[in-house]
Amino acid sequence: MKRVAILISGGGSNMLALCESMTGDHPARPVLVASNDPEAGGLKKAAALGIPTAAVDHRPFAGDRAAFEAEFLKPILAAGPDILCLAGFMRVLTPGFVERFKGRMLNIHPSLLPKYPGLDTHARALAAGDAEAGCTVHEVTPVLDDGPILGQARVPVLAGDTAETLAARVLREEHRLYPAVLRRFACGDRTPVRS
């Protein structure tokens, strides 16, 4: 059984989708939900599911990413994860952190990478007049929102869409895609999931 730690910064809807998928014959189980924000809504949701949680506030570290990560790593290493899933984790990780979990760390990003790495993906897709949008699960490398693509899901952009309506449509797909990719990945299968 693979041990999965999930890193979050916010409400944790992707985290919940992942945790709820890891039951029965699934080859993995959640062992930790960790956040850089002690107020992240997802922490309570994880605790309600009986999943251990940890929080290390990044703010007192005042931009010293390595010092923050040294503290953040402690509960993660104590949980002994085989796989790390970033699920709405909004801190950029140092190359040292990424290297430690090389080939074992996944991220979900709300765009069809390589389009729109970084923030405000939906507003950028609308501004560009794109006919479709979507989400991507990829392996994490030291380059932001880069790394081998393990799955993508597409949605149409509809007339009258705002960044919010498009984000909601994409998020529904995120909740399907990420569990599908994790299940395959936990079995050692890196064939991209397409939908």
Q: How far is the CB of 26 from ligand GAR (least distance, A)?
A: 19
What amino acid positions are annotated as catalytic residues? 109
C-alpha to C-alpha distance for 169 and 125, rounded to whole angstroms: 13
Q: Which residues in the chain belong to E strands, given as ranges? A: 2-8, 28-35, 53-55, 83-86, 105-109, 132-139, 149-156, 193-194
State whether residue 100 is helix, strand or coil: helix
C-alpha 161 chain-centroid distance? 24
Nearer to ligand GAR, 80 or 114 (CB): 114
Nearer to ligand GAR, 11 or 95 (CB): 11
Strands 149-156 and 132-139: antiparallel
Q: How far is the CB of 145 from ligand GAR (least distance, A)?
A: 6
Binding residues with ligand GAR: total (CB under 6 A): 14
Q: How far is the CB of 72 from ligand GAR (least distance, A)?
A: 17
Work out which of 2, 6, 13, 31 binds ligand GAR, going by CB under 6 A: 13
184 annotated as a binding-site residue: no
Nearer to ligand GAR, 25 or 48 (CB): 48
**171 scored as a contact of ligand GAR (CB under 6 A):** yes
Burial of 162 (0-12, 13-18, 19+ CB in 10 A): exposed
